[in-house]
Amino acid sequence: MKMSEGVEWALHSCVNLAWSGPDRAVSAARLAAWHDLPAAYLNKQLQALARAGIVTSAPGPRGGFKLARPLAAVSLMDVVAAVEGPEEAFRCAEIRQQGPGAGAPAADAADCAIAHAMARAELAWRKALAAQNLDEIRQQAERQAPGAPARLRAWLAAP
Amino acid sequence: MKMSEGVEWALHSCVNLAWSGPDRAVSAARLAAWHDLPAAYLNKQLQALARAGIVTSAPGPRGGFKLARPLAAVSLMDVVAAVEGPEEAFRCAEIRQQGPGAGAPAADAADCAIAHAMARAELAWRKALAAQNLDEIRQQAERQAPGAPARLRAWLAAP
DNA sequence: GGTCAGGTACTCGGATACGGGTTGTCCGAGTTCCCAGGG
DNA sequence: CCCTGGGAACTCGGACAACCCGTATCCGAGTACCTGACC
């Protein structure tokens, strides 16, 4: 079980967009170059964020991506769901209803105990993700590297 | 992000082993046939459980797999870790230290805020898994299908 | 000088190849049981 | 009848392919800007 690389890229990109300022759109190529990532693939992840309503996109020169709403209104869960998709990690295949061990019809209606337990654990994960928003991430990152926002803005201003 | 099918198979197999009785070993082929699964592949998952000390294996006729300890002493986390491996789903690639955006050395030492937040959520998931043991799963399954253990034992007794 | 048309450069967006990992399969080493032969 | 040796069958265990999703890439549609000519 491995999470997509795109999640980390998308999260960093959101923080970078916040640092770049709310007025200026940044292209996928520029965001990718900042961390030496494949530009076209990062673009794919940003498209997912745009579909989820986390960022807005504009084509043409001076186009690019902007945050659709303040970082405080974007949770980790939003980004993970946008990039990874809404499906749960554990999908019950209902193997208990296959082969000679197929249960009685009465048991079929009830939820599989295993699926229920796994879903409960996954819900805890989702709640923990939803409880943290990107603004908290940004604040912590700024405490660790106070000069990062200024450096990014200076680099973006240079051609 | 998708969890391996083997997790569901391993969990069902553990419950089935408990139902089959603590004295009798059950072969992987028999456990697979009960739910119409690929025998050789289920064997692979059971090997992982054996390496983790959840079940014991014995070769030869009358051999097979037995539970190494009571179901109450096996948590969901144990099984998931045995089958999926101990690695975390989210691996921080430290992209913040790549390209022009590479932070100052002081920031490098500190943990990436994103990785920290993701790890916290994953810890909640792991705790939720560790808080549930397989005996609770078994009890719930028996409430839903009281005749299941007897049917399994009867089917195992038949040649 | 102001206005307008054309061209150009730049952006996203979806359609298109490649690779690693999960899924699935196979055969060999080892053990147990059964059976036949001998005492 | 009891003991012993050999063979056969069954089991796990690890090594070997096939498929699928995540990774990476490319080119086309659309837009804004800039340039130049014209009024």
- How much is the pLDDT for A111? 85
- How much is the pLDDT for B136? 97
Residue B116 has pLDDT above 90, yes or no: yes
- How much is the pLDDT for A158? 79
Q: Which amino acid is at A21?
A: G
Question: What distance in Å separates the CA atoms of residue A120 and residue A52, rounded to the nearest whole number?
Answer: 25
Question: Which residues lie below 8 Å from residue B19, measured CB to CB, with a gap of 6+?
Answer: B138, B148, B149, B152, B153
Residue B111 has pLDDT above 90, yes or no: no
Question: What distance in Å separates the CA atoms of residue B8 and residue A107, rounded to the nearest whole number?
Answer: 18
Sign of torsion over alpha carbons A31, A146, A79, A111: positive
Cross-strand partners of A56? A66
- How much is the pLDDT for B113? 95
Q: Which residues of B touch A145 (CB under 8 A)?
A: 103-104, 106-107
Where is A58: in which H helix or E strand?
A: strand A55-58
- How much is the pLDDT for A115? 96
Angle of CA points B99, B100, B102, to nearest 5°: 75
Residue B106 has pLDDT above 80, yes or no: no
- How much is the pLDDT for B154? 94
Q: Do A132 and B117 touch (CB under 8 A)?
A: yes
Those nucleotides of strand D lying less than 7 Å from any protein Cβ are 9-15, 21-27, 29-33
Low-confidence ranges of chain A (pLDDT < 50): none
Q: Is the CB of A101 under 7 A from strand D?
A: no
Q: Do A155 and B11 touch (CB under 8 A)?
A: no
Asked whether the beta carbons of B135 and B1 are under 8 A apart, the reply is no
Alpha-carbon distances of A86 from A30, B2, B142, rounded to whole Å: 28, 11, 32
- How much is the pLDDT for B108? 60
Model confidence, pTM: 0.93
Question: What's the Rg (C-alpha) of chain A?
Answer: 20
Relative to beta strand A55-58, strand A64-67 is: antiparallel
> Mean per-residue pLDDT for B23-28?
94
- How much is the pLDDT for A124? 98
* B157 vs B7, residue with greater confidence: B7
Which residue lies nearest C34, CA-to-C1' measured?
A: B61
- How much is the pLDDT for B28? 97
Question: For B117-150, what is each residue's pLDDT tens digit?
Answer: 999 999 999 999 999 999 999 999 999 899 999 9
Question: For B33-46, what is each residue's pLDDT tens digit?
Answer: 999 999 999 999 99
**A73: helix, strand or coil:** helix
Cross-strand partners of A57? A65
Q: Is the CB of A44 under 7 A from strand D?
A: yes
Question: What distance in Å separates the CA atoms of residue B77 and residue B127, rounded to the nearest whole number?
Answer: 8
> Mean per-residue pLDDT for B71-82?
98
Tokens representing A121 are 């654990």
